[in-house]
Amino acid sequence: NAGVTQTPKFRILKIGQSMTLQCTQDMNHNYMYWYRQDPGMGLKLIYYSVGAGITDKGEVPNGYNVSRSTTEDFPLRLELAAPSQTSVYFCASSGHQNTEAFFGQGTRLTVV
Amino acid sequence: GESVGLHLPTLSVQEGDNSIINCAYSNSASDYFIWYKQESGKGPQFIIDIRSNMDKRQGQRVTVLLNKTVKHLSLQIAATQPGDSAVYFCAENSKATDYKLSFGAGTTVTVRA
């Protein structure tokens, strides 16, 4: 039972570089989410998707893009990395009404 | 801004005592309130939820209380154990916002032996 799988676990980027954080789930969940968590803080929603082909902005979408071409995958793209994007990124998925979301292990990203 | 927030950022509890973690919310239209636990280096994990038309719900060693009059939510952990040391988040969602989860800042619970 893989659940939600995120890759990579760690990454260091230089300012201006681009990267894609991968997220896949094998629970056939319609809902998928990307959150960021700064040290000692709560989770801020970046983007979410209620199904394949549908994505919506969360609280902090600037500097990020997503796509949802399949039910399983929900990659997060950083086009021009900035130090303010240094954070831990969590992907999550859930079924309808979303009270029990399953989170991945997180990606720790540092932009220098 | 946040629709849920916690009263205290840290809580220290003696092993075996009961823990009470509090949370205030502002969205009267929330459909569900949810508690998550996050252990160090891991993603958050679902603990328990409560529908907005309920006052109380019990799980294994945990009880969630909802007071809609004062917009207050609490999580009670009975007989706190060392494994309960973690950061606890309250969250809410509503049909009006696609049921997306909105999290508060978190309370760090430390269990003293």
| Residue A100 to residue B101, Cβ atoms within 8 A | no
CB contact under 8 A, A101 and B98: no
**Distances in Å between the alpha carbon of B106 and those of A98, B86, B89?**
19, 10, 4
Instruction: Give the gap in angstroms from C-alpha B46 to the nearest C-alpha of chain A.
Output: 6
Residues of B with CB under 8 A from a CB of A: 2, 31-32, 34, 41-46, 49, 89, 93, 98-106
List the Cα angle B62/B68/B73 in 5-degree steps.
30
State chain A's mean pLDDT as an integer: 94
Inter-residue contact A76 to A47 (CB < 8 Å)? yes
pLDDT at A89 over 80: yes
Q: Which of B41, B100, B106 sits opposite A98 (nearest CB)?
A: B100
Residue A27: pLDDT over 60: yes
Are B54 and B67 spatial neighbours (Cβ–Cβ below 8 Å)?
Answer: no
If phi > 0 it is left, if psi is from -120 to 50 it is alpha, else beta; for residue B19 that is beta
Contact B98 A48 (CB under 8 A): yes
pLDDT truncated to tens, each residue of chain B (113 aa)? 456 766 678 999 999 999 999 999 888 889 999 999 999 999 999 999 999 999 999 999 999 999 999 999 999 999 999 999 999 999 999 888 888 888 888 999 999 99
Distance from CA of B51 to the nearest CA of A (A): 10
Q: Which of B101, B107, B108 to mutate to test the interface with A (most CBs of A within 10 A)?
A: B101
Name the residue facing B49 among A31, A99, A106 (closest C-beta): A99
C-alpha to C-alpha distance for B95 and B97, rounded to whole angstroms: 5
- CA atoms of A46 and A86, how far apart (whole Å): 14
Determine contact, residues A42/B105, Cβ cutoff 8 Å. Answer: yes
Does position A97 have pLDDT exceeding 90, yes or no? no
- Give the per-residue pLDDT at A58: 94
Q: CB contact, 8 Å: A88 with chain B?
A: no
A60 touches chain B (CB under 8 A): no
Asked if B44 contacts B38 with a C-beta cutoff of 8 angstroms, the reply is yes
Do the Cβ atoms of B31 and B93 come closer than 8 Å? yes
In terms of phi and psi (left: phi > 0; alpha: psi -120 to 50; beta: otherwise), the region of A98 is left
pLDDT attached to residue B107? 93
Range A54-81 average pLDDT = 96
What's the pLDDT at B3? 65
Would you say A13 and A112 are in contact if contact means Cβ atoms under 8 Å apart?
yes
pLDDT surpassing 60 at residue A72: yes
Overall average pLDDT of the A81-88 stretch: 97
